[in-house]
Amino acid sequence: MRTSDLIEILALDVRPTPPGAVNRKLLTALVAGGLVTFAIVALWLRCQPLLAAAHQSWFWMKAAYTGLLTVAAAVTVRRLSVPGSRIGLAPFAAALVILVMLALGVGQILSATQAGRLALWLGHTWKICSPLILLLAMPIYACLIAAIRGLAPTRPALTGAAAGLAAGALAASLYGLHCPEQAAAFVATWYTLGIGAATALGAITGSRLLRW
Amino acid sequence: MPAYFAARPRALQAGRHFSVCDSPSARIRITPLARRERVDPSVPHQDETEERLRPLMIRSLEGDPGAHRQLLGVLGRYLRGYFARRIGAAAAEVEDLVQETLLAVHLKRDSYDRSLPFTPWAYALARYKLIDHLRRRSRSIQVPLEDAGALFAAEDAEERALRTDLERLLQRLPDRQRSLIEDVKLQGLSVEEAAHKRGVTAVSARVMLHRSLKWLSQAIRDENI
């Protein structure tokens, strides 16, 4: 088939697209995946007493950490899905958020008494925290990947990693509705580990799933 | 002081020197890479290309088939020149890559952000397809990241022979989808007329056509190794 014939056929497949398709696709994916994960948290894990928790600073510390990370990662995904746009500062913002959280965790450990350190670090739920965040990230990751496949990431592995980071961070935000742990050292370690696992999984699968 | 430390301030100075000398209205261009200087003709009218193609792209996104046809026609000529300069004018895959990239431009239109310039978007797609092609043939490749001028340096209107004939790939489609494409291509029917002839609704014919093109884009990629 000649190239000019192909162009004639492609011209038959033209339909109007409203502006802002990229943002709409990605936001829809985050909301849809987030709703599934929220349902799992609310119905299976159960939320902690939220009214009481909302008066505690540790609750907002966790929300700020995972929330800011979600925003930075989502912006990165958006940039990576649009060919020719600059990636900008969002990945550095994500790295900064993680570094601040790690610093808070280390500071807390250092200022704690020798005897209390291990309890602070491990809390009551360290064994299940990271695996649960990874599990909760899956519905969000699946929705995000489906949306990105409709866009044009020119760096599949990196885009997959950013999608994994966004999914992990949003999952951790929703997991915070359930998780009663209060220590910065706990969050800096086990939340970050779960989010990191989702990021690694995204990098590995993204290089296959996001080719076009 | 080690040499690599000494080298950096010099580079910074050179950069400052460059921007101070330029008049504020002049556009500061990144020095072209050595490879591009060797291969691509100089690009005197890149901004003109942008001004010509971006309105076409926007009209195409608004659903204007004529603008879409015109845009893909111009892009095809630039793509042919670009790929020929990169993998060799005699390479059998040049036209295949052109068709594969045009399919990508068509199917990935949603990823274009109307507030951004068009030529870097098109260049990024072309470069991705080139890298993808080279990577699947050999393990290690180097494609320098350039500005969009690398793609829009020169048009090449002469279609070349194909290695992979889409017609042959189309034979693998289910009958209904294939006959729809044959109707619109060979007999020049509109999608509505073809749908009427085959006894399906126009909407489902459109969906079928879009799916066939998606499938074709995957098939041509798998074929062009």
- Cβ contacts of residue B175 below 8 Å, gap of 6+? none
Nearest by CB to residue A7, choosing from B72, B95, B132, is B72
Neighbouring C-alpha atoms within 13 Å toward the C-beta of A76? 26
Class of the domain covering B32-163: mainly alpha
Structural domain includes residue A60: yes
Interface of B with A in 56-85 (CB under 8 A): 60-66, 68-69, 72-73, 76
Distance CA B78, CA B154 (A): 6
Structural domain includes residue A17: no
Q: Which regions of chain B are under pLDDT 50?
A: 1-37
Task: Determine phi and psi for B31, rounding to 5 degrees.
Answer: -60, 130
Interface pTM (ipTM) of the complex? 0.87
Structural domain includes residue A4: no
Structural domain includes residue A58: yes
- Which residues form the domain of A53? 22-209
List the structure tokens of B15: 């950069």
Structural domain includes residue A30: yes
CATH of domain B164-225: 1.10.10.10
Interface of B with A in 28-47 (CB under 8 A): none
Domain edges within chain B = 32-163, 164-225
Structural domain includes residue A12: no
- Cβ contacts of residue B103 below 8 Å, gap of 6+? A6, A10, B213, B216, B217, B220
Q: What are the tens digits of pLDDT across the range A94-133?
A: 999 999 999 999 999 999 888 888 988 998 899 999 999 9
- The tally of domains found in chain A comes to 1
User: How many C-beta atoms surround the C-beta of residue B12 within 10 A?
Assistant: 9
Structural domain includes residue A173: yes
Burial track B18-45 (b if 16+ CB lie within 10 A, e otherwise): eeeeeeeeeeeeeebeeebeeebeebee
Q: What are the tens digits of pLDDT across the range A35-68?
A: 999 999 999 998 888 888 888 889 999 999 999 9
Instruction: State percent of chain A over pLDDT 90.
Output: 79
pLDDT value at residue B13? 38
Structural domain includes residue A125: yes
**A70 with A94: CB under 8 angstroms?**
no
List chain A residues with CB under 8 Å of B112: 82
Using alpha carbons only, what angle is made at residue B41 by residues A84 and A152, rounded to the nearest 5 degrees?
20
